[in-house]
Amino acid sequence: MMNYEIFKEVVKDKFKDYLPEKYQKMEVKVNPVNKVNHTLDGISLVSKEPGMCMSPTIYINDMYEHYKQCGDLQAVLQTASENMVNIFEMDMARPTLDYSEAKDNIVFQLINTEQNKEMLAGMPHREYQDLSVIYRWVAGMDETGIQSTMIKNELAGQLGFTEEQLFNRAAENTRRLFPPVVKSMNEVLCELFMKDGMPQEVAEMMIGGIPEEQKMYVITNDRGLQGAASMLYEDRLHSLSMKLEEDLYILPSSIHEVLAVPVSMGTPESLAEMVSEINMNEVALDERLSNQVYHYDKDLRRLSLATDTPNKRLDGIVSEPPMVYETKQSR
């Protein structure tokens, strides 16, 4: 079985052979694509026809996972070419984006700063603790999912928005399009049990009564997608802390949600150790948010970092300054 680098070269060389005739004149390009928390190798088709600016992209990394499972290079290339054609035809049929509608559909997302330095260099953003606020344009949303695109520098320029304008728009739009939700873990588990067909009274009995001061709370949005940004709404943190009559520790469980617990539940160091262990073992790399723990002060109404552990990256690489060695000169 080929290793990844050889596989990538073979795909680059053979991919066009599996495309229909009308795509043969297009150029195949392989470029690194920065995604949240990692970089993928994208393969795209670029039309040489004037006015044709679409260049749909699929990922060689996904193709390699398929190859490792089936061991059949031809089947992988055939499936990937069919996927590319489907994406290209959907893009052709999709209405042209109306830039005038963008102002009402810009939302924000939280990602890890250290892990995404390269990507952040090419997009408007603002830092928040060890995280960064980035912006997305929601182009479509229904019961099947959400279509959105990251706003990079080029698109921000086309829209005519500064970072401050993007933030102000997103602060309003995100609350409207993806209303923040704060639920106890008991409520979340009860809903899951009931979704699987369990009667409500049985579900509530299964969970049992946990004292309010020992409960864990989930902070997300009504879609449960990229809901960690709901921690930016300080009023929600304040309401919860006042209800519990305690400050809060915020645990970043993923880009989709964060957890809140009363500070009496444990030390920030022990909680950070738990967060890091869960991140590394149970959360996909592209969904990890942070290994740190945050403290919300209900009196000051302020969120700050409660820990500063060295594992600031999310891929297991410890971010440390390079070591400096002193050498003695011979005389």
Q: How far apart are CA 219 and CA 229, in angstroms?
A: 9
Residue 215: inside a domain: yes
Determine the 3-state secondary structure of 242 from DSSP: helix
Sign of CA dihedral 93, 98, 104, 109: positive
Asked if pLDDT for residue 322 goes beyond 50, the answer is no
Paired with 152 in beta bridges are: none
Residue 206's pLDDT is 63
Residue 313 located in a structural domain: no
Query: Contact, 66 vs 1, CB < 8 A?
Result: no
Are 59 and 159 contained in the same domain? no
Cα-atom radius of gyration of the chain, to the nearest Å?
23
Say whether pLDDT at 188 is over 70: no
Q: How many Cα atoms sit within 13 Å of 268 on the Cβ side? A: 17
Average pLDDT, the chain: 88
Shared domain check, 289 and 194: yes
* pLDDT per residue as tens digits for the range 112-166: 999 999 999 999 999 999 999 999 999 888 877 888 999 999 999 999 999 999 9
Mean pLDDT of all residues in 287-301: 97
Given 93, 113, 136, the domain boundary residue is: 93
Least confident of 4-13, 19-28, 151-160, 183-192: 183-192
Tell which of 176, 198, 216 closes a domain.
Answer: 176
Its domain, for residue 249, covers 180-305
Residues 229 and 144 in one domain: no
pLDDT class of 15 with cuts at 50, 70, 90: very high
Strand order in the sheet with 257-262: 180-184, 217-221, 257-262, 248-254, 294-297, 302-305
Structure tokens at 36: 């949240």
Report the C-alpha gap between 273 and 309 in whole angstroms.
Answer: 9
Question: 43, 77, 93: which is the final residue of a domain?
Answer: 93
Which residue in 217, 219, 220 sits closest to 187, CA to CA? 217
Q: Are 114 and 317 in contact (CB under 8 A)?
A: no
Q: Go through the chain and tell me how many residues it has.
A: 331
Quote the pTM value. 0.85
- Residue 297, strand partner residues: 302
φ and ψ at 191, to 5 degrees?
Answer: -65, -40
- The alpha helices in the chain, defined as continuous H runs, are 4-14, 60-70, 73-93, 117-120, 153-159, 163-177, 185-195, 200-207, 234-244, 268-282
Does the residue 154 lie in any domain?
yes
Q: Which helix or strand (DSSP H or E) is residue 304 part of?
A: strand 302-305
Q: Are residues 221 and 272 in the same domain?
A: yes
- Banded model confidence at residue 328, pLDDT cuts 50, 70, 90: very low
Answer yes or no: is 54 within a domain: yes
What pLDDT score was predicted for residue 56?
81
- What domain count does the chain have? 3
For residue 324, being part of any structural domain is answered with: no
Complete DSSP assignment for 36-55: TTEEEEEEEEE--STT----
Would you say residue 318 lies in a domain?
no
Indicate if the pLDDT at residue 213 is higher than 60. Answer: no
pLDDT-based confidence at residue 205 (cuts at 50, 70, 90): low
Residue 135 lies in a domain: yes
Q: Is residue 323 part of a domain?
A: no
